[in-house]
């Protein structure tokens, strides 16, 4: 099976290919200019996938990722890339100064559409953890400041295989992969 992942993020594409690599699902990618609606992760993922399927004229997957701080009632959530761009890793930590918890969760929502006119189906994965001062390789988003629960390591300190087994993205992709494997094949 071959599927188009609509993304311009090379790090996300790399992880998706690593995670789905053992299956028979080949992942192509295409970057499309799709405005992001404001709303919950589910609303953002649904709207993005619906529009991508229209532009591509066929099946596709999209992804939306959120980093949610317990002290901030789930914010920055789906707006994390804007917070990270403006504040950096250090600034994410400073957002929690004065709060009694640094607990957080990483949330990934993949959306699949069979094509134009088909309502997207959502697949979510969540990993609990906490926000910590940046540690490890700082090349991929907020990985250096998210320490996954019961690991003692940030995502950036983990080997790809270790991260993919416990990550929010890996958990969402596991559900998506199972769904895609059960789709009827066209003759």
Average pLDDT of each block of 10 consecutive residues along the chain (187 residues)?
Answer: 89 88 84 87 92 95 95 95 95 96 97 96 98 91 96 96 94 94 70
Which fold does the domain 2-182 belong to in CATH?
Maf protein (3.90.950)
Contacts of 132 (CB under 8 A, 6+ apart): 93, 102, 145, 146, 147, 154
Give the pLDDT confidence score for residue 1 in this predicted structure: 80
Give the pLDDT confidence score for residue 120 in this predicted structure: 97
Give the pLDDT confidence score for residue 187 in this predicted structure: 37
Residue/partner pairs of 145-152 with CB below 8 Å, 24 or more apart: 145/89, 145/92, 145/93, 146/67, 146/104, 146/106, 148/106
Scanning the structure block, which residue is given the tokens 């699902």?
25
- CB 55 within 8 Å of CB 113: no
Per the annotation, binding residues are 7-12, 36, 48, 64-65, 140-143, 163, 168-169
- CB 69 within 8 Å of CB 131: yes
Per the annotation, binding residues for ITP are 7-12, 48, 64-65, 140-143, 163, 168-169
Scanning the structure block, which residue is given the tokens 């799709």?
34
Give the pLDDT confidence score for residue 185 in this predicted structure: 66
Per the annotation, binding residues for Mg(2+) are 36, 64
Rounded to two decimals, what is the model's pTM?
0.90
């Amino acid at each position: 099976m071959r599927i188009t992942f609509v993304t311009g993020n090379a790090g996300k594409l790399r992880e998706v290919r690593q995670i789905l690599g053992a299956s028979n699902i080949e992942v192509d990618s295409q970057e499309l200019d799709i405005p992001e609606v404001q709303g919950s992760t589910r609303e953002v993922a649904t709207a993005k996938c619906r529009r991508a399927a229209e532009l591509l004229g066929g099946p596709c997957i999209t992804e939306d990722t959120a980093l949610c701080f317990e002290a901030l009632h789930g914010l920055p959530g789906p707006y994390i890339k804007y917070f990270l761009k403006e504040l950096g890793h250090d600034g994410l930590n400073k957002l929690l100064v004065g709060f009694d918890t640094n607990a957080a969760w990483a949330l990934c929502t993949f959306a699949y559409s069979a094509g134009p006119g088909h309502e997207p189906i959502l697949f979510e994965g969540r990993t609990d953890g906490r926000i910590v001062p940046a540690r490890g390789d700082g090349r991929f988003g907020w990985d250096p400041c998210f320490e996954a629960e019961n690991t003692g390591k940030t995502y950036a300190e983990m080997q790809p295989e270790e991260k993919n087994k416990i990550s929010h993205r890996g958990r969402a992709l596991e559900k998506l992969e199972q769904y895609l494997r059960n789709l009827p094949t066209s003759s």
